Amino acid sequence: MTNRSADARAIAGDDHPMRLRDHPSFAPVFVGFCDQLIAPLRGQRLMIKLFGQRAPTEIVAHIVMMHMSARQPVERPTLTRLQMRLPGPRQTAAFVAVLRGLSLVTIERDPGDGRIRYLVPGSVILEGLRGWLALHLDCHARLTEAGGLSVRLRDDQSFYAETIRQCATWLCRDSRPLTGFPDLAWTDEHDSGIHLALTLVARSAAGRHVVDVSTAELATMLGVSRSHIRNLLAAMEERRLLRFDDGRRRLTLMPGFVASVEAWFCHQVTWLAAAAARADRALQPA
């Protein structure tokens, strides 16, 4: 058995995702994950404004999946095919126009019928997604005996494409680990809400430290207004996800919320590692 196959078998094992918390390096890996997940968007006002919203993120996910999974032209993404999959055809068209305007998505005309225009995700999207997946696999590898698939993901285009195909059920929101954690899922319903939550988890070292609050800094980092940050923090406090001190200049994350984010992390990295393991098996010689 090759080491790569052994890695895939280890990832596909029956261990419960929460066993990852038993690893002595869990805390630094988890905190690093929260920080690095936001790092590519930090300070990129336009990008985080776009991908801090659910709708454009969902649209891009469908474009990438259709693009990477297509076996024949009729399966490739077009605006019409995308609108058939997603609610709100006008909203979809508007966001696709924005993606095209930013050169995040380009157009390729069908050589046999110029009226058909395929949507092609650009390198910023594809390489950003590759890095996002690799981060999850890296964290999983550090907390298990299975390693190597994240390196392959970065270097092997066929493996990357197959991993994307193995994530097809991710397009159904109910299939994602996030939906099992209502408090964190609630933050994702607000523009940049989940980015704020993960930033606070990272800054507090997973609730171990009090966080100094600067709405101006957080607003600049997350590409939203200071009033939006204040409203989000107030809503999180009302939901009992955090607690301010008397001067409202420092906050503490509630232990139950931190535990929920930790559990989401365990389930999400395990989910994606399992998809990578399936991709590895699918590419093994018969």
pLDDT at 11: 46
pLDDT at 95: 93
Q: DSSP letters of 128-140?
A: HHHHHHHHHHHHH
pLDDT at 47: 78
Q: What percent of the chain has pLDDT over 70?
A: 95
Classified as helix, coil or strand, 197 is helix
pLDDT at 121: 96
Cβ neighbours around 231 below 10 Å, total: 13
* Ranges of residues in the chain whose predicted pLDDT is under 70: 1-15
Closest CA to 234 of 196, 202, 205: 196
pLDDT at 96: 95
Closest CA to 165 of 138, 139, 129, 137: 129
pLDDT at 207: 86
Q: Looking at 64-204, which runs of residues are DSSP E strands?
A: 105-110, 113-121
pLDDT at 14: 46
pLDDT at 45: 72
